Amino acid sequence: MTALQQQDPEIFSLIQQEEVRQHNKIRLIASENYVSSAVLEATGSILTNKYSEGYPGKRYYEGQQLIDQIESIAIDRAKAVFGAEHVNVQPYSGSPANMAVYLAFLKPGDTILGMALPHGGHLTHGSKVSISGKYFNAVSYALNEEGILDYEEIRNKALECKPKILIAGHSAYPRILDFAKFREIADEVGALLMVDMAHFAGLVAGGVHPSPFPYADVVTTTTHKSLRGPRGAMIMCKAEYAKAIDKAVFPGMQGGPHDSTTAAIAVALKEASTDSFKKYTAQVVENAASLADVLIEKGFNLVTGGTENHLMLIDLSNKNITGKQAAKALDAAGIVLNCNSVPFDKRKPFDPSGIRLGTCAITSRGFAKAEMVILGNMMDRVVNNFEDSAVLAEIAQEVQALCDKFPAPGLEHIAK
Ligand code: DSN
Protein backbone atom coordinates (compact mmCIF):
# COMPACT_ATOMS: atom_id res chain seq x y z
CA MET A 1 0.00 0.00 0.00
CA THR A 2 1.22 3.48 -0.74
CA ALA A 3 1.10 6.21 1.90
CA LEU A 4 -1.75 7.92 0.08
CA GLN A 5 -3.71 4.71 -0.24
CA GLN A 6 -3.36 4.18 3.50
CA GLN A 7 -4.06 7.72 4.67
CA ASP A 8 -6.66 8.88 2.19
CA PRO A 9 -8.17 6.00 0.25
CA GLU A 10 -10.86 8.29 -1.16
CA ILE A 11 -8.44 10.63 -2.94
CA PHE A 12 -6.13 7.73 -3.80
CA SER A 13 -8.98 5.94 -5.52
CA LEU A 14 -10.05 9.02 -7.46
CA ILE A 15 -6.49 9.59 -8.70
CA GLN A 16 -6.26 5.94 -9.69
CA GLN A 17 -9.53 6.20 -11.61
CA GLU A 18 -8.25 9.32 -13.33
CA GLU A 19 -5.10 7.40 -14.35
CA VAL A 20 -7.30 4.74 -15.90
CA ARG A 21 -9.41 7.42 -17.63
CA GLN A 22 -6.31 9.08 -19.08
CA HIS A 23 -5.13 5.70 -20.34
CA ASN A 24 -8.48 4.58 -21.78
CA LYS A 25 -9.46 7.76 -23.60
CA ILE A 26 -8.27 9.48 -26.74
CA ARG A 27 -7.41 12.86 -25.26
CA LEU A 28 -7.73 15.60 -27.86
CA ILE A 29 -7.99 18.72 -25.68
CA ALA A 30 -5.52 20.93 -27.53
CA SER A 31 -3.89 22.27 -24.37
CA GLU A 32 -3.35 18.90 -22.67
CA ASN A 33 -0.55 16.35 -22.85
CA TYR A 34 1.05 13.44 -20.98
CA VAL A 35 4.23 14.34 -19.07
CA SER A 36 7.04 11.85 -18.62
CA SER A 37 7.52 9.90 -15.40
CA ALA A 38 10.60 12.04 -14.73
CA VAL A 39 8.57 15.27 -14.93
CA LEU A 40 5.92 13.70 -12.67
CA GLU A 41 8.56 12.69 -10.14
CA ALA A 42 9.99 16.20 -9.92
CA THR A 43 6.49 17.70 -9.68
CA GLY A 44 5.62 15.46 -6.75
CA SER A 45 8.93 15.91 -4.92
CA ILE A 46 9.76 17.32 -1.47
CA LEU A 47 10.64 20.62 -3.13
CA THR A 48 7.02 21.49 -2.36
CA ASN A 49 8.16 21.99 1.26
CA LYS A 50 10.35 25.00 0.47
CA TYR A 51 9.74 28.75 0.34
CA SER A 52 12.04 30.79 -1.90
CA GLU A 53 10.80 34.37 -2.37
CA GLY A 54 13.24 36.21 -4.58
CA TYR A 55 15.60 34.95 -7.25
CA PRO A 56 18.77 32.82 -7.27
CA GLY A 57 21.39 34.56 -5.12
CA LYS A 58 18.85 37.14 -3.87
CA ARG A 59 16.35 35.39 -1.63
CA TYR A 60 14.46 36.60 1.40
CA TYR A 61 14.68 33.26 3.24
CA GLU A 62 17.68 31.04 3.90
CA GLY A 63 18.29 27.43 2.94
CA GLN A 64 18.38 28.07 -0.80
CA GLN A 65 21.68 26.31 -1.57
CA LEU A 66 19.99 23.68 -3.74
CA ILE A 67 16.91 25.61 -4.84
CA ASP A 68 19.14 28.30 -6.36
CA GLN A 69 20.89 25.65 -8.42
CA ILE A 70 17.60 24.15 -9.58
CA GLU A 71 16.15 27.50 -10.64
CA SER A 72 19.38 28.53 -12.38
CA ILE A 73 19.43 25.24 -14.33
CA ALA A 74 15.80 25.78 -15.40
CA ILE A 75 16.61 29.32 -16.57
CA ASP A 76 19.75 28.26 -18.45
CA ARG A 77 17.93 25.41 -20.17
CA ALA A 78 15.09 27.71 -21.26
CA LYS A 79 17.63 30.20 -22.65
CA ALA A 80 19.32 27.40 -24.59
CA VAL A 81 16.09 25.82 -25.92
CA PHE A 82 14.51 29.09 -27.05
CA GLY A 83 17.47 31.43 -27.53
CA ALA A 84 16.00 33.86 -24.98
CA GLU A 85 18.05 36.65 -23.42
CA HIS A 86 16.26 36.60 -20.07
CA VAL A 87 13.95 34.01 -18.49
CA ASN A 88 11.70 34.04 -15.45
CA VAL A 89 10.47 30.54 -14.57
CA GLN A 90 8.35 31.49 -11.57
CA PRO A 91 4.85 32.37 -12.92
CA TYR A 92 2.33 29.96 -11.46
CA SER A 93 0.58 29.54 -14.80
CA GLY A 94 -0.15 31.29 -18.09
CA SER A 95 -2.74 33.76 -16.84
CA PRO A 96 -0.57 35.18 -14.02
CA ALA A 97 2.36 35.28 -16.44
CA ASN A 98 0.38 37.49 -18.80
CA MET A 99 -0.82 39.65 -15.91
CA ALA A 100 2.78 40.09 -14.77
CA VAL A 101 3.72 41.40 -18.21
CA TYR A 102 0.91 43.97 -18.02
CA LEU A 103 1.98 44.93 -14.52
CA ALA A 104 5.54 45.42 -15.75
CA PHE A 105 4.66 47.82 -18.54
CA LEU A 106 1.16 49.25 -18.08
CA LYS A 107 -0.83 51.52 -15.82
CA PRO A 108 -4.57 50.90 -15.31
CA GLY A 109 -6.43 52.31 -18.31
CA ASP A 110 -3.56 51.85 -20.77
CA THR A 111 -4.39 50.25 -24.10
CA ILE A 112 -3.62 46.69 -25.17
CA LEU A 113 -4.49 45.13 -28.52
CA GLY A 114 -4.98 41.37 -28.82
CA MET A 115 -6.89 38.71 -30.71
CA ALA A 116 -10.59 38.64 -29.85
CA LEU A 117 -11.54 35.75 -27.56
CA PRO A 118 -14.35 34.45 -29.83
CA HIS A 119 -11.87 34.44 -32.71
CA GLY A 120 -9.27 32.29 -30.94
CA GLY A 121 -7.61 34.72 -28.53
CA HIS A 122 -7.19 34.06 -24.81
CA LEU A 123 -9.16 35.45 -21.86
CA THR A 124 -6.05 37.26 -20.65
CA HIS A 125 -5.55 39.05 -23.98
CA GLY A 126 -8.18 41.62 -23.03
CA SER A 127 -11.50 39.82 -22.68
CA LYS A 128 -14.03 41.98 -20.85
CA VAL A 129 -14.67 39.21 -18.30
CA SER A 130 -10.96 39.02 -17.43
CA ILE A 131 -8.97 41.45 -15.32
CA SER A 132 -7.05 42.19 -18.52
CA GLY A 133 -10.19 43.71 -20.02
CA LYS A 134 -11.41 45.35 -16.83
CA TYR A 135 -8.24 47.19 -15.73
CA PHE A 136 -6.96 48.09 -19.18
CA ASN A 137 -8.46 49.59 -22.30
CA ALA A 138 -8.55 46.34 -24.23
CA VAL A 139 -9.06 46.52 -27.97
CA SER A 140 -9.28 43.38 -30.07
CA TYR A 141 -8.61 42.39 -33.64
CA ALA A 142 -10.77 39.83 -35.42
CA LEU A 143 -10.29 37.26 -38.16
CA ASN A 144 -11.49 37.67 -41.72
CA GLU A 145 -14.41 35.72 -43.23
CA GLU A 146 -12.16 32.70 -43.89
CA GLY A 147 -11.08 32.69 -40.26
CA ILE A 148 -7.57 33.94 -41.09
CA LEU A 149 -5.69 36.82 -39.44
CA ASP A 150 -5.84 39.95 -41.52
CA TYR A 151 -2.65 41.91 -40.84
CA GLU A 152 -3.97 45.01 -42.54
CA GLU A 153 -6.90 45.00 -40.09
CA ILE A 154 -4.49 44.56 -37.15
CA ARG A 155 -2.39 47.46 -38.46
CA ASN A 156 -5.44 49.70 -38.85
CA LYS A 157 -6.65 48.85 -35.36
CA ALA A 158 -3.18 49.52 -33.96
CA LEU A 159 -2.92 52.88 -35.76
CA GLU A 160 -6.33 53.78 -34.37
CA CYS A 161 -5.91 52.76 -30.74
CA LYS A 162 -2.11 53.12 -30.35
CA PRO A 163 -1.66 50.22 -27.93
CA LYS A 164 1.18 50.12 -25.43
CA ILE A 165 1.30 46.36 -25.92
CA LEU A 166 0.42 44.47 -29.09
CA ILE A 167 -0.33 40.82 -28.31
CA ALA A 168 0.20 37.96 -30.74
CA GLY A 169 -0.86 34.49 -29.68
CA HIS A 170 -3.95 32.35 -29.30
CA SER A 171 -5.79 29.45 -27.76
CA ALA A 172 -7.65 28.29 -30.84
CA TYR A 173 -6.03 29.43 -34.09
CA PRO A 174 -4.84 26.64 -36.39
CA ARG A 175 -2.42 28.74 -38.45
CA ILE A 176 1.15 29.95 -38.04
CA LEU A 177 1.53 33.57 -36.99
CA ASP A 178 3.61 36.04 -38.99
CA PHE A 179 5.80 37.42 -36.22
CA ALA A 180 7.72 39.72 -38.58
CA LYS A 181 4.44 41.39 -39.56
CA PHE A 182 3.44 41.80 -35.92
CA ARG A 183 6.88 43.38 -35.22
CA GLU A 184 6.46 45.79 -38.10
CA ILE A 185 3.06 46.90 -36.78
CA ALA A 186 4.35 47.22 -33.21
CA ASP A 187 7.26 49.36 -34.44
CA GLU A 188 4.98 51.55 -36.53
CA VAL A 189 2.82 52.44 -33.52
CA GLY A 190 5.56 52.34 -30.86
CA ALA A 191 4.11 49.33 -29.01
CA LEU A 192 5.86 46.52 -27.20
CA LEU A 193 5.30 43.17 -28.92
CA MET A 194 4.22 40.39 -26.59
CA VAL A 195 3.87 36.86 -27.96
CA ASP A 196 1.89 34.35 -25.92
CA MET A 197 3.16 31.07 -27.35
CA ALA A 198 1.51 28.83 -24.74
CA HIS A 199 -0.09 26.59 -27.33
CA PHE A 200 2.85 26.17 -29.68
CA ALA A 201 5.87 26.51 -27.35
CA GLY A 202 6.75 22.85 -27.80
CA LEU A 203 6.58 23.20 -31.56
CA VAL A 204 8.96 26.18 -31.38
CA ALA A 205 11.31 24.18 -29.13
CA GLY A 206 11.20 21.29 -31.59
CA GLY A 207 11.92 23.55 -34.55
CA VAL A 208 8.67 22.81 -36.39
CA HIS A 209 7.11 26.26 -35.88
CA PRO A 210 8.74 29.67 -36.48
CA SER A 211 10.25 31.19 -33.38
CA PRO A 212 8.90 34.48 -32.04
CA PHE A 213 12.22 35.29 -30.40
CA PRO A 214 13.93 37.41 -32.99
CA TYR A 215 10.82 39.62 -33.08
CA ALA A 216 9.13 39.77 -29.68
CA ASP A 217 10.04 42.00 -26.76
CA VAL A 218 8.38 39.58 -24.36
CA VAL A 219 7.29 35.98 -24.81
CA THR A 220 5.03 34.20 -22.34
CA THR A 221 4.22 30.53 -22.29
CA THR A 222 2.70 27.85 -20.16
CA THR A 223 4.92 24.83 -19.75
CA HIS A 224 2.32 22.06 -19.80
CA LYS A 225 0.85 22.08 -23.29
CA SER A 226 2.93 21.17 -26.35
CA LEU A 227 6.09 21.70 -24.23
CA ARG A 228 5.07 18.66 -22.14
CA GLY A 229 6.17 19.96 -18.76
CA PRO A 230 4.41 20.53 -15.43
CA ARG A 231 1.56 23.01 -14.86
CA GLY A 232 3.53 26.26 -14.83
CA ALA A 233 4.70 29.12 -17.01
CA MET A 234 7.68 31.21 -18.07
CA ILE A 235 8.22 34.77 -19.21
CA MET A 236 11.11 35.35 -21.57
CA CYS A 237 12.24 38.77 -22.68
CA LYS A 238 14.95 40.94 -24.08
CA ALA A 239 17.66 41.68 -21.51
CA GLU A 240 16.59 45.32 -21.25
CA TYR A 241 13.23 44.27 -19.77
CA ALA A 242 14.61 41.70 -17.33
CA LYS A 243 14.35 43.89 -14.23
CA ALA A 244 10.81 45.05 -14.97
CA ILE A 245 9.60 41.49 -15.61
CA ASP A 246 11.27 39.99 -12.53
CA LYS A 247 9.90 42.76 -10.32
CA ALA A 248 6.41 42.28 -11.73
CA VAL A 249 6.41 38.51 -11.09
CA PHE A 250 7.82 38.88 -7.58
CA PRO A 251 6.86 40.84 -5.56
CA GLY A 252 4.34 42.36 -8.00
CA MET A 253 2.08 39.39 -8.75
CA GLN A 254 3.22 36.48 -6.65
CA GLY A 255 4.84 35.28 -3.45
CA GLY A 256 7.14 32.30 -3.31
CA PRO A 257 7.71 30.27 -6.46
CA HIS A 258 6.60 26.63 -6.61
CA ASP A 259 10.03 25.01 -6.46
CA SER A 260 8.76 21.55 -7.36
CA THR A 261 7.30 23.02 -10.55
CA THR A 262 10.57 24.83 -11.28
CA ALA A 263 12.45 21.54 -11.04
CA ALA A 264 9.94 19.81 -13.28
CA ILE A 265 10.21 22.66 -15.82
CA ALA A 266 13.98 22.08 -15.84
CA VAL A 267 13.42 18.36 -16.50
CA ALA A 268 10.93 19.08 -19.29
CA LEU A 269 13.35 21.54 -20.90
CA LYS A 270 16.10 18.92 -20.85
CA GLU A 271 13.70 16.59 -22.65
CA ALA A 272 12.74 19.37 -25.08
CA SER A 273 16.36 19.73 -26.17
CA THR A 274 16.63 16.14 -27.40
CA ASP A 275 16.30 14.75 -30.91
CA SER A 276 13.43 12.56 -29.79
CA PHE A 277 11.47 15.67 -28.78
CA LYS A 278 12.15 17.17 -32.22
CA LYS A 279 10.74 14.01 -33.80
CA TYR A 280 7.78 14.15 -31.42
CA THR A 281 6.87 17.70 -32.42
CA ALA A 282 7.22 16.91 -36.13
CA GLN A 283 4.82 14.00 -35.58
CA VAL A 284 2.37 16.26 -33.68
CA VAL A 285 2.12 18.53 -36.73
CA GLU A 286 2.00 15.60 -39.17
CA ASN A 287 -0.76 13.95 -37.15
CA ALA A 288 -2.79 17.15 -37.11
CA ALA A 289 -2.47 17.44 -40.88
CA SER A 290 -3.43 13.76 -41.40
CA LEU A 291 -6.45 13.99 -39.11
CA ALA A 292 -7.51 17.23 -40.81
CA ASP A 293 -7.39 15.47 -44.20
CA VAL A 294 -9.61 12.63 -42.97
CA LEU A 295 -12.10 14.99 -41.37
CA ILE A 296 -12.28 17.24 -44.43
CA GLU A 297 -12.90 14.18 -46.56
CA LYS A 298 -15.80 13.31 -44.24
CA GLY A 299 -17.34 16.73 -44.85
CA PHE A 300 -16.21 18.48 -41.68
CA ASN A 301 -15.77 22.21 -42.04
CA LEU A 302 -12.35 23.07 -40.64
CA VAL A 303 -12.02 26.77 -39.86
CA THR A 304 -9.34 28.21 -42.20
CA GLY A 305 -9.62 25.03 -44.29
CA GLY A 306 -7.07 23.04 -42.31
CA THR A 307 -4.20 23.36 -39.87
CA GLU A 308 -0.52 24.31 -39.78
CA ASN A 309 0.08 23.55 -36.12
CA HIS A 310 -1.18 21.03 -33.56
CA LEU A 311 -4.83 22.13 -33.45
CA MET A 312 -8.02 22.21 -35.43
CA LEU A 313 -11.17 24.20 -35.01
CA ILE A 314 -14.25 22.63 -36.56
CA ASP A 315 -17.45 24.49 -37.36
CA LEU A 316 -20.26 21.93 -37.04
CA SER A 317 -23.02 24.17 -38.38
CA ASN A 318 -23.29 21.97 -41.51
CA LYS A 319 -23.56 18.77 -39.45
CA ASN A 320 -26.83 19.34 -37.65
CA ILE A 321 -25.18 19.11 -34.25
CA THR A 322 -23.95 21.76 -31.81
CA GLY A 323 -20.44 21.89 -30.40
CA LYS A 324 -21.68 20.91 -26.96
CA GLN A 325 -23.70 17.94 -28.28
CA ALA A 326 -20.70 16.75 -30.27
CA ALA A 327 -18.29 17.15 -27.35
CA LYS A 328 -20.65 15.23 -25.02
CA ALA A 329 -21.24 12.43 -27.53
CA LEU A 330 -17.51 12.15 -28.29
CA ASP A 331 -16.78 11.99 -24.55
CA ALA A 332 -19.30 9.16 -24.20
CA ALA A 333 -17.44 7.39 -27.01
CA GLY A 334 -14.07 7.86 -25.26
CA ILE A 335 -12.84 10.79 -27.37
CA VAL A 336 -12.29 13.84 -25.21
CA LEU A 337 -12.17 17.41 -26.49
CA ASN A 338 -13.94 20.71 -25.87
CA CYS A 339 -16.72 22.61 -27.57
CA ASN A 340 -15.51 25.95 -28.85
CA SER A 341 -16.80 29.13 -30.43
CA VAL A 342 -15.93 29.56 -34.06
CA PRO A 343 -15.32 32.95 -35.67
CA PHE A 344 -18.59 34.87 -36.17
CA ASP A 345 -20.42 32.21 -34.14
CA LYS A 346 -24.15 32.81 -33.89
CA ARG A 347 -24.37 30.65 -30.77
CA LYS A 348 -23.34 31.52 -27.18
CA PRO A 349 -19.84 30.62 -25.81
CA PHE A 350 -21.23 27.95 -23.43
CA ASP A 351 -23.18 26.32 -26.26
CA PRO A 352 -21.18 27.18 -29.37
CA SER A 353 -21.14 25.82 -32.92
CA GLY A 354 -17.71 24.27 -32.92
CA ILE A 355 -15.22 21.91 -31.35
CA ARG A 356 -11.47 22.33 -30.85
CA LEU A 357 -8.99 19.49 -30.87
CA GLY A 358 -5.25 18.98 -30.84
CA THR A 359 -2.76 16.17 -31.37
CA CYS A 360 -0.17 16.77 -28.61
CA ALA A 361 -1.37 14.12 -26.15
CA ILE A 362 -2.18 11.36 -28.63
CA THR A 363 1.20 11.84 -30.28
CA SER A 364 2.91 11.46 -26.90
CA ARG A 365 1.41 7.97 -26.65
CA GLY A 366 2.63 7.05 -30.12
CA PHE A 367 -0.36 7.57 -32.40
CA ALA A 368 0.68 8.16 -36.01
CA LYS A 369 -0.94 8.34 -39.44
CA ALA A 370 -2.78 4.99 -39.29
CA GLU A 371 -4.38 5.95 -35.98
CA MET A 372 -5.41 9.35 -37.40
CA VAL A 373 -7.42 7.55 -40.08
CA ILE A 374 -9.09 5.32 -37.47
CA LEU A 375 -9.74 8.33 -35.22
CA GLY A 376 -11.19 10.49 -38.02
CA ASN A 377 -13.56 7.68 -38.96
CA MET A 378 -14.63 7.19 -35.34
CA MET A 379 -15.30 10.91 -34.92
CA ASP A 380 -17.43 10.89 -38.04
CA ARG A 381 -19.44 7.93 -36.73
CA VAL A 382 -20.00 9.67 -33.40
CA VAL A 383 -21.21 12.87 -35.00
CA ASN A 384 -23.56 10.95 -37.32
CA ASN A 385 -24.96 8.86 -34.44
CA PHE A 386 -24.71 11.24 -31.52
CA GLU A 387 -28.09 10.28 -30.09
CA ASP A 388 -27.51 6.52 -30.32
CA SER A 389 -25.97 5.40 -27.05
CA ALA A 390 -25.37 1.85 -28.34
CA VAL A 391 -23.16 3.15 -31.17
CA LEU A 392 -21.32 5.45 -28.75
CA ALA A 393 -20.69 2.54 -26.37
CA GLU A 394 -19.42 0.40 -29.24
CA ILE A 395 -16.98 3.13 -30.29
CA ALA A 396 -15.85 3.57 -26.66
CA GLN A 397 -14.81 -0.10 -26.69
CA GLU A 398 -12.89 0.36 -29.92
CA VAL A 399 -11.22 3.44 -28.42
CA GLN A 400 -10.16 1.48 -25.37
CA ALA A 401 -8.78 -1.38 -27.46
CA LEU A 402 -6.75 1.13 -29.47
CA CYS A 403 -5.50 2.88 -26.34
CA ASP A 404 -4.38 -0.44 -24.85
CA LYS A 405 -1.90 -0.73 -27.72
CA PHE A 406 -0.40 2.69 -26.95
CA PRO A 407 0.65 3.08 -23.30
CA ALA A 408 0.91 6.77 -22.44
CA PRO A 409 3.99 8.29 -20.77
CA GLY A 410 3.64 8.15 -16.99
CA LEU A 411 0.82 5.61 -17.29
CA GLU A 412 2.68 2.55 -18.54
CA HIS A 413 1.61 0.68 -15.39
CA ILE A 414 -2.06 0.95 -16.45
CA ALA A 415 -1.52 -0.68 -19.85
CA LYS A 416 -2.72 -4.26 -19.98
N1 DSN B 1 -7.29 26.65 -21.04
C2 DSN B 1 -6.23 26.77 -22.02
C3 DSN B 1 -6.62 26.15 -23.31
O4 DSN B 1 -7.33 25.16 -23.27
O5 DSN B 1 -6.24 26.64 -24.38
C6 DSN B 1 -5.81 28.15 -22.19
O7 DSN B 1 -5.67 28.77 -20.95
In which region does residue 57 sit, left (phi positive, over 0), alpha (psi from -120 to 50) or beta (all else)?
Answer: left
What residues have CB less than 8 Å from 107, skipping those under 6 apart? none
Q: Is 293 a catalytic residue?
A: no
- Judgement on whether residues 385 and 400 belong to the same structural domain of the protein: yes
Q: In the listed set 220, 246, 272, which residue is the last one of a domain according to the structure?
A: 272
- Judgement on whether residues 258 and 285 belong to the same structural domain of the protein: no
- Judgement on whether residues 101 and 168 belong to the same structural domain of the protein: yes
The answer to whether 141 and 115 are in contact (CB under 8 A) is yes
pLDDT in tens, 112-168: 999 999 999 999 999 999 999 999 999 999 999 999 999 999 999 999 999 999 999
What residues have CB less than 8 Å from 61, skipping those under 6 apart? 51, 52, 53, 54
Cβ neighbours around 33 below 10 Å, total: 26
β-strands 58-59, 54-55 pairing:
antiparallel
Q: In the listed set 231, 250, 272, which residue is the last one of a domain according to the structure?
A: 272
The answer to whether 116 and 142 are in contact (CB under 8 A) is yes
pLDDT at 415: 79
> What is the atom index within ligand 1 of the atom nearest the CA of 32?
4
- Residue 329 in any domain: the answer is yes
Instruction: List the domain range (segments joined by +) for residue 128.
Output: 40-272
> What is the atom index within ligand 1 of the atom nearest the CA of 94?
7
Give dist(CA 148, CA 343) in Å, integer. 10
What is the 8-class DSSP label of residue 117? Answer: G
pLDDT above 90 covers what percent of the chain? 99
Task: Indicate which CATH number applies to the domain containing 47.
Answer: 3.40.640.10
- Judgement on whether residues 221 and 356 belong to the same structural domain of the protein: no
Query: pTM for the full model?
Result: 0.97
- Residue 32 in any domain: the answer is no
What residues have CB less than 8 Å from 38, skipping those under 6 apart? 267, 271
Would the CB of 31 count as within 6 Å of ligand 1? yes
Q: Is 246 a catalytic residue?
A: no
- Judgement on whether residues 262 and 315 belong to the same structural domain of the protein: no
Q: Which whole number is the average pLDDT over 227-241?
A: 98
Distance from the alpha carbon of residue 30 to the mean position of ligand 1, in angstroms: 8
Give dist(CA 148, CA 359) in Å, integer. 21
- Judgement on whether residues 282 and 225 belong to the same structural domain of the protein: no
pLDDT at 125: 98
pLDDT in tens, 283-294: 999 999 999 999
Number of domains observed in the structure of the chain: 2
Q: In the listed set 238, 272, 306, which residue is the last one of a domain according to the structure?
A: 272
Q: Is the pLDDT of residue 416 over 90?
A: no
Q: Which of 231, 328, 347, 369 is catalytic?
A: 231
What residues have CB less than 8 Å from 149, skipping those under 6 apart? 115, 141, 143, 173, 175, 177, 178
Q: Is the pLDDT of residue 259 over 80?
A: yes
pLDDT at 37: 98
Q: Which of 51, 68, 247, 394 is catalytic?
A: 51
Give dist(CA 127, CA 249) in Å, integer. 21
The answer to whether 26 and 399 are in contact (CB under 8 A) is yes
Q: Which of 43, 111, 221, 222 is catalytic?
A: 222
Q: Is the pLDDT of residue 81 over 80?
A: yes
- Residue 74 in any domain: the answer is yes
pLDDT tier, 407 (very low <50, low <70, confident <90, very high otherwise): very high
- Residue 409 in any domain: the answer is yes
Which protein residue's CA is at the shortest distance from atom 6 of ligand 1? 171
Q: Is 225 a catalytic residue?
A: yes
pLDDT in tens, 10-50: 999 999 999 999 999 999 999 999 999 999 999 999 999 99
- Residue 6 in any domain: the answer is no
Task: Indicate which CATH number applies to the domain containing 348.
Answer: 3.90.1150.10
- Judgement on whether residues 329 and 194 belong to the same structural domain of the protein: no
Q: Which whole number is the average pLDDT over 268-296?
A: 98
